[in-house]
Amino acid sequence: MMDADHVTLDCGKTIEEVSEYLESGRSPYDPEIETCPECLNALDALTRAGRLSRELIAADAADLPEPSESWFHGVMTAVRAELRAGRSIPLSHPDPAVSITVTEGAVQALIRASGDAVDGVFIGHSKIVGDVEVPAAPISIDVTASVAWGEPLPSAAGAVRRAVTDALAQHTELNIVAVDVTVEDLHRPYPPKDPA
């Protein structure tokens, strides 16, 4: 099994370096990290994972046990996979001499960010099913999630489905025919927000 800290991104930075930079409050400013799409995806994923950890610690421990260690491991494995470029997804351009693509890893990071933006939901992993390299080919998205205890599961899954569909429609030209959401885990609800 590969240690997450020793994963090297295509740009040459390691997850450990990016994590240390995040822990330092992103100071002093590192232009190599701040201008690298892979590093920015890693920063975003590490920020969300840290937020989940802090919310679980702050939640009432008597209500529900923390998600299993295997669930956290699965999320970090998925985040590592998202940092790999993967397949190239073409985007159209009015000039036929211009070729524009977006990486599969960037699209998976978009899926994670849009799903995590749904209240009470944390995305476990996502899979893009279909030939993304062929324009207009039918594509389906498989997403797993953890939902806060007490949230209606059909509503949460529907909200994730809509958020992912909307984000992909806005930022890609993929022909999305289905977004399947599987709730794999429950976690404690977020701690109440301070009204101040």
Q: In sequence order, what are the beta bridge partners of 105?
A: none
Provide the pLDDT for residue 88: 85
Residues whose CB falls within 8 Å of the CB of residue 38, separated by 6 or more in sequence, listed in order = 9, 10, 11, 13, 83, 85, 105
Q: What is the pLDDT of residue 37?
A: 77
Specify the pLDDT at position 193.
43
What pLDDT, on the 0 to 100 scale, is given for residue 140?
97
Domain 4-187, CATH homologous superfamily name and number: Cation efflux protein, cytoplasmic domain (3.30.70.1350)
Stated as kind and residue range, the H or E segment containing 89 is strand 88-91
pLDDT in tens, 56-110: 555 544 454 555 566 666 666 656 555 566 788 888 888 888 888 888 888 988 9
Residues in the chain where the model's pLDDT stays below 70 = 1-7, 50-85, 190-196
Q: Where are the domains of the chain?
A: 4-187
Q: Are 167 and 114 in contact (CB under 8 A)?
A: yes
DSSP bridge pairs for 187: 148
